[in-house]
Structure 1
């Protein structure tokens, strides 16, 4: 039987989702817990990769098992065993060929910025105590939605076959002393969101114009785009599948 497991994690203590040699990862931690509870070797395939320090409010992975189990009981045992920064939400029975990565139709990320030093947000949001022109940044977001090739925002030397992504939403919102950037697409390239945020920060500070942004996108050159913002402000917040009812977490 194939199952999807839905979970969340705070990425501060992990070197990303994917297995890393000599480093702790979410994939390794959750795989060990599932293997122990089901008393058989389990392999987990995630909906995507998150980098060191990145958080996930909603993440999925699939695994195969022939061991019978009661969903609520297994979820309760997993949450009791797992560290406090990983929480299992649900488990779903899916078709044998269902794939957590390739079947996802939409992913949404948020990037959180706070403008004043906050002792409680230092690992959950990025401190940027400078002025930003949010209207100008949202004009840049509209420009991004007109494009599909985002090679200029991709980490160099990746093994992807295409740099095309279909963006469906990109927007900055202000919440008092906080700014939140939300972006949705069918897929994302490695480091893409953090590079986009850094480039939009340059737009918001006046360093980069909208004409410059068009030229950056046309260049397909990562060195032309802005800096990558720190990982600890980034959250994977939604993953959608056609056969799983979406529930906001």
Structure 2
């Protein structure tokens, strides 16, 4: 029987989602828990990669295991075995052809940064010392330019092995939870490796006057690297939502965890 799992995790201690030979990963923790519950090795396939220190408030995976008559008990068993920074909210029966990665129609990421040092969120948000020098209106304009593109070679990590760099961006914006707390949000059908962090860096560099809108337009149109590419730190990034044609939106909304500043309000 195939099931989708909905999990949230704090990525601070992990070398990303995917199993690594010498480092701890979220996938490894889930597979080890599954092996104990089902008493056999169980492969778990995630909806995508997240890098070292990146978090997720809504991450889907799939697994195949014997049919579970009481899913709430199985969920409870997982959480009893998982570390406290990983929490399984739901197990959902799906059809045999369902795939957590390939069937996702939309993914949403958020990036949090502050203009002040916060000892309680130091590994959950990016403390950007130059935030007070950054022109928010120019940051918004950069996002608008980038969102109008179709090929994102300029915002792919060097050495990425993909067939093409085309993505469909559905939404891209910045907003302020307060003058010193900024949030970037982007939704697309797919993302390239390192893409979100490079886009955030480009927007901030434009706000600081280190690169121009014209350079961003040229890089997007001509598929060339920016003169000052900046991949912001991973610990401010959250995979916030995944959409599937057969998973109700209400499910993910009811099972989600709040990110570092609680429920999102897009105005000061």
Establish whether TM, by shorter chain, passes 0.5. yes
> Residues 69-117 of structure 1, C-alpha deviation per residue, up to 9 Å, x if partnerless?
4110011111121101000010111111100000000000000001011
Rounded Cα–Cα distance in structure 2 between residues aligned with 1:155 and 1:145: 18
Structure 1 residue aligned with 2:197: 194
CA contact (8 A) 2:18 2:28 kept: yes
Structure 2 residue aligned with 1:93: 93
Structure 2 residue aligned with 1:167: 169
Instruction: Report the TM-score when normalising by structure 2.
Output: 0.90
Structure 2 residue aligned with 1:4: 4
Correspondence 1:232 to 2:232: no
CA contact (8 A) 1:4 1:92 kept: yes
CA contact (8 A) 2:111 2:184 kept: yes
Aligned-residue offset at 1:67: 4.5
Structure 1 residue aligned with 2:206: 203
Structure 2 residue aligned with 1:107: 107
CA contact (8 A) 1:171 1:182 kept: yes
Q: Which runs of 5+ in 1 are unaligned?
A: none
Aligned-residue offset at 1:118: 1.1
How do residues 62-101 of structure 1 correspond to structure 2 at under 5 angstroms? 62-101=62-101
Structure 1 residue aligned with 2:137: 135
Relative to structure 2, which stretch is displaced further, 203-212 or 180-189? 203-212
Relative to structure 2, which stretch is displaced further, 77-86 or 131-140? 131-140
Structure 1 residue aligned with 2:259: none
Structure 2 residue aligned with 1:45: 45
CA contact (8 A) 1:195 1:225 kept: no
Q: How many residues align?
A: 249
Structure 2 residue aligned with 1:149: 151
SS in 1 for 2:197: helix
Q: Which runs of 5+ in 2 are unaligned?
A: 257-268
> Residues 199-228 of structure 1, C-alpha deviation per residue, up to 9 Å, x if partnerless?
111011111111111112134234535210
> Residues 220-239 of structure 1, C-alpha deviation per residue, up to 9 Å, x if partnerless?
23453521000000000000
SS in 1 for 2:173: strand
Rounded Cα–Cα distance in structure 1 between residues aligned with 2:66 and 2:202: 48
Instruction: Report the TM-score when normalising by structure 1.
Output: 0.97
SS in 2 for 1:144: helix
Rounded Cα–Cα distance in structure 2 between residues aligned with 1:159 and 1:142: 27
SS in 1 for 2:29: helix
SS in 2 for 1:211: helix
Structure 2 residue aligned with 1:30: 30
Correspondence 1:18 to 2:46: no
CA contact (8 A) 1:151 1:220 kept: yes
SS in 2 for 1:197: helix
Structure 1 residue aligned with 2:160: 158
Tell me how large the CA RMSD over aligned residues is: 1.2
CA contact (8 A) 2:215 2:226 kept: no
